[in-house]
Amino acid sequence: RVVLVSTELIELAGVQCTLSIINDITERKRMEDEFISLVSHELRTPMNSIIGALDLLGTQKLGTLTELGQQTINIATNNMERLIRLVNDILDLERIKSGKIAMRYVECQADKLLIEATQAMQAMADSAQVNLSVEPTPVQIHADPDRILQTLTNLLSNAIKFSEPGETVSLRSSLNCEYLQIEVQDRGRGIPQDKLQLIFERFQQVDASDSRAKGGTGLGLPICRTIVEQHNGRIWVESSLGEGSTFYVRLPVDEGLGTGD
Ligand code: ADP
């Protein structure tokens, strides 16, 4: 809990008094999160109605469109889809962080999750002409499989987005007695050293054009971090500019669960 106290000297009825202003940053941050979440929630209904209307127009159910008309509808649809992704990510982050979405921990095979994540991202890799490779270690973990899958697909999606055609994105895991270490490695543009921690914060992107050019929201990594930390794990990145990045996820392996062979 971070509390800032500022003290001011004031004169009250001729008597000098000190007025202490307690500024509870944690409370302010909580109210800010709640406000963002409320606004995002309220935005969802009108946004869905707009996307429905654009779909009706775009599929020419309301009449034939000129080529320019069709292009305009496509641009509007793309932007609405970005907005919906942003709002969904904001809500997701707030709900996971506040515990409104509880983790559903079960014993699961981490290697199967790695394979499932690669399969889910194969189409995106194909269209970006990026090779995907997976080397999973068979091990059982106590985790929420949907949320771990969400973390892995988020990291893979970034790795693919920031890779050039012909490059390879690798998903690996290795087992230590206390934890499972998952690595997502790309040979893309890399991340500057001063941004390595910052990108795990809300709305932080290396380049201001990333959200427009790559369709991102700047919320993927904060969501990954929240999920991993709720699993008592750790997430970080190592990177060299122009050579690529490796994102690491460490998840504790419960004693007695052992390998899933
Ligand atoms: P976004 O939706 O923008 O991808 P993220 O929180 O997932 O949001 O990532 C934040 C920013 O971190 C990205 O916009 C990008 O600038 C940088 N980034 C993330 N992953 C990579 C990567 N593999 N290579 C280069 N930059 C990356």
Report how far residue 94's alpha carbon sits from residue 39's, in angstroms, rounded to the nearest whole number. 12
- Whether 104 has a pLDDT exceeding 50, the answer reads yes
Say if residues 141 and 254 touch (Cβ distance below 8 Å). Answer: yes
Report how far residue 42's alpha carbon sits from residue 34's, in angstroms, rounded to the nearest whole number. 12
Report how far residue 159's alpha carbon sits from residue 16's, in angstroms, rounded to the nearest whole number. 61
Interface ipTM: 0.97
pLDDT of residue 226: 94
Q: How far is the CA of 204 from the centre of ligand 1 (A)?
A: 8
Helix (H, G, I), strand (E, B) or coil at 119: helix
- Whether 171 has a pLDDT exceeding 90, the answer reads yes
**Which atom of ligand 1 has the smallest separation from the CA of 89?**
2
pLDDT band at 152 (very low <50, low <70, confident <90, very high): very high
pLDDT band at 25 (very low <50, low <70, confident <90, very high): confident
Q: SS3 for 202-225, per residue? A: CCCCCCCCHHHHHCCCCCHHHHHH
- Whether 154 has a pLDDT exceeding 60, the answer reads yes
pLDDT of residue 39: 83
**Which atom of ligand 1 has the smallest separation from the CA of 206?**
16
Helix (H, G, I), strand (E, B) or coil at 244: strand
pLDDT of residue 213: 62
Characterize 104-134 residue by residue with b for buried, 16 or more Cβ atoms within 10 angstroms of its Cβ, and e for exposed.
Answer: eeeebbbbebbebbbeebeeebeebebebeb
Comparison of pLDDT for 170 and 81, the residue scoring more? 170
By most ligand atoms within 8 Å of CB, the mutation choice from 199, 228, 241, 246 for ligand 1 is: 199
| Percentage with pLDDT > 90 across the chain | 56
Closest residue (by CA) to atom 9 of ligand 1?
218
pLDDT of residue 236: 98
pLDDT of residue 210: 62
Give 260's DSSP letter.
-
- Whether 2 has a pLDDT exceeding 60, the answer reads no
The arithmetic mean of pLDDT across residues 198-215, rounded, is 76
Report how far residue 10's alpha carbon sits from residue 13's, in angstroms, rounded to the nearest whole number. 10
Closest residue (by CA) to atom 23 of ligand 1?
159
Q: How far is the CA of 218 from the centre of ligand 1 (A)?
A: 7
pLDDT of residue 74: 93
In this structure, the residues whose C-beta lies within 6 A of any atom of ligand 1 are: 158-159, 162, 186, 188-189, 191, 199, 205-207, 210-211, 216-221, 245
- Residue at token pair 């506040």: 98
pLDDT digits (tens, 9 = 90+) for 75-94: 999 999 888 888 888 888 88
Average pLDDT over the chain reads 86
Q: How far is the CA of 211 from the centre of ligand 1 (A)?
A: 9
